[in-house]
């Protein structure tokens, strides 16, 4: 079963064509990595997959709904309920604590009480954030901030997780732990995962890999 389908997606940014007829299928429970050098359009692809941007041409089908035809209110509702997005800027609300930043995802969905607290404690434990619950973002390292952003996206158990270069500030062991937890969550819930990275060669524990180059997305086959 497909969660997200991109069909012949084109997108220009500031007059430059960055995506040229991109086709991508994300199936339920599958982890997909898109590799590419800086500036090739990975963030644009991630934002289109997250329903933040609309393509200039092409179709974006999310959970069997042709999102190009939807109004912004409906698209925003789909993002809130079903999509977790991890941005590479590690954007957090500076006035809120680590716990409150993560909890915000659940509060926006109307989830509270013991159910919400249990979910937050789980991601804090798995992502190595236990003991940092009361800290403000300015008191965290770059790697800790990135883990909070990932926790905020995962805590609501989305149908689609899109992570734009999520491992840039993380060491290899933390990356491995997060990928393994994400894989287990994907297999148990049917969540689809799209990860972008500038790392062209390091092994990643994913199901499918693609290369984005000159606006063209092609599947990567390891020899």
CATH number at residue 16: 3.40.50.300
Instruction: Look at residue 172 in the predicted model and tell me its pLDDT.
Output: 86
Kindly state the average pLDDT of the residues 186-197.
94
Residues 153-188: tens digit of each pLDDT: 999 999 999 999 998 888 888 888 888 889 889 999
Question: Is-contact 3 160, C-beta < 8 A?
Answer: yes
* Host domain of residue 25: 2-219
Quote the CA–CA distance of 63 and 198 in Å, as a whole number: 28
Q: Which two tokens stand for residue 26?
A: 């994300």
Query: What token pair was written down for 169?
Result: 């500030």
Cβ atoms 123, 115 nearer than 8 A: no
Separation of CA 20 from chain center: 22
Number of structural domains (the chain) is 1
Asked if pLDDT for residue 32 goes beyond 70, the answer is yes
pLDDT of the residue at 1: 81
pLDDT over threshold 80, residue 221: no
- Which pair of structure tokens corresponds to residue 88? 């590479």
Q: Alpha-carbon torsion 191, 2, 193, 82, what sign?
A: negative
Calculate the average pLDDT of the chain.
93
What pLDDT is recorded for position 222? 60
> How many Cα atoms are found within 13 Å in the side-chain-facing hemisphere of 168?
19
pLDDT per residue over 109-141, tens digit each? Answer: 998 778 889 999 999 999 999 999 999 999 999
> Is residue 92 scored above 60 in pLDDT?
yes
The pTM for the full model equals: 0.93
pLDDT-based confidence at residue 147 (cuts at 50, 70, 90): very high
pLDDT tens for 39-74 read 999 999 999 999 999 999 999 999 999 999 999 999
């Amino acid at each position: 079963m497909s969660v997200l389908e991109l069909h012949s997606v084109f997108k220009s940014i500031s007059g430059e064509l960055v995506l040229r007829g991109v086709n991508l299928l994300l199936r339920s429970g599958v982890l997909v990595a898109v590799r590419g050098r800086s500036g090739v359009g990975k963030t644009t692809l991630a934002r289109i997959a997250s329903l933040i941007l609309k393509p200039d041409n092409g179709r974006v089908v999310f959970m069997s709904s042709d999102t190009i035809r939807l109004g912004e209110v409906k698209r925003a509702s789909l993002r809130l309920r079903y999509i977790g997005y991890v941005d590479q800027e590690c954007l957090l609300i500076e006035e809120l604590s680590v716990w409150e930043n993560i909890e915000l995802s659940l509060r926006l969905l109307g989830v509270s009480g013991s159910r919400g607290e249990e979910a937050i404690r789980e991601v804090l434990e798995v992502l190595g954030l236990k003991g940092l619950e009361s800290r403000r973002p300015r008191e965290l390292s770059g790697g800790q901030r990135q883990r909070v952003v990932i926790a905020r996206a995962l805590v609501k158990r989305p149908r689609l997780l899109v992570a734009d270069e999520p491992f840039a500030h993380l060491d290899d062991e933390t990356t491995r732990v997060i990928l393994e937890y994400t894989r287990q969550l994907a297999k148990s819930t049917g969540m689809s995962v799209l990860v972008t990275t500038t790392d062209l060669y390091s092994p990643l524990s994913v199901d499918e890999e693609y290369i984005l180059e000159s606006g063209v997305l092609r599947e990567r086959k390891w020899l």
